Structure 1
């Protein structure tokens, strides 16, 4: 599989992995800051952006796609930063390929199964927009708003709405595959260990990383450290990109010594 990607900056290689319903552009603000210190690789995960589609969204499968990308780029080591679902992909990749990963940063997700379905309203809204061809962004947002009440979430989704050759719009993520395999996305079937420096970044106002997840984190990532970013929720990198980039850079720099 050949993933769509973007590269900027010079230095040691650093891979950024976006979350569910996202694309490489969602980490663009963070990438621009980190590119002052690293050669930053941004990828579209399978079923997202301009990367290939697949009916297999399990974490071993997505981690395998990331490994293919690393091999294609001729890299023999990389530090990895992943957000939300991308954080799980990053953890799965690190567990399966510890020799390729120097350091790992996981943003606002834990290595656990999430039993609460957080995206049913989003999926309902996306499906509603596809009942008829989407004529424009305003129409798509109006339909989404009947299901997705948070304006920020709607704007996040609309970043992946693209105009097609026929003049209509469509989503750049594979709604059907993501919905059909949603349980694989909320799951965490792995029991491996990544015994290298790992940073878990938590948005202070987010509940994706909770106290009850600590044992799972420490068991699977015995060198894990945690940092809470004040005044941010689940999209901490978008809310405070400079702060998050500074924390990541400080962590990576200390780990490289």
Structure 2
């Protein structure tokens, strides 16, 4: 009888231990589930672009010049992307301040470990599983990968010099004008930044959920949208009126002659901007 009692006790203890392990396992699964959800929320919050971010006039000029060059080649215009511009903004500052390209095996597409992003040595660490072209998705809410063109000069770094260099170098020209291996890519959005001799341009096929960019040194807001009739992008600058006047100022680009500016104005009027 004693032997049977001990066996029954042992069986009961084993069953209880099994139940306890099961409860602990379920508790751990629930805990991990909530941790993942909390982590996701924090990550989403981290991807918010700061309210202090803005685009300067020189960067807007470079963006408009890129669209002019594409239009001359019969290519569709690009939407100005706040997310891609912010990624470019961070990268040119990282390049200037932290010099990730100074590490052996790393070029100017690299990122340091000094910011709210994952460090990346390009092309050394580039692979099918891990790509530097995923930086826009990592840092912002931009939905797809994107490609970058980088510029550096110790001398002049104005929009004219930047665009001329990019046009004259085969790899960057292929990205800009969808030739070579980028022939099948359909760029929809672009973001730009210029800082201390560096310039960065990101090109992506996704639509940016962020639609408005503040223009530096003003309270103006730049809005990018696509014309339904001709699939062209227009850039407007909205001035705060203190009321509901609904006044908008169009920043379409700068032109070397009055005739070209007049032609652009006529195109805008035909697109529905009767007061252009």
User: TM (normalized to structure 2)?
Assistant: 0.24
Which has more radius of gyration? 2
User: TM (normalized to structure 1)?
Assistant: 0.26
Kindly indicate which of the two structures has a greater share of residues assigned to helix: 2
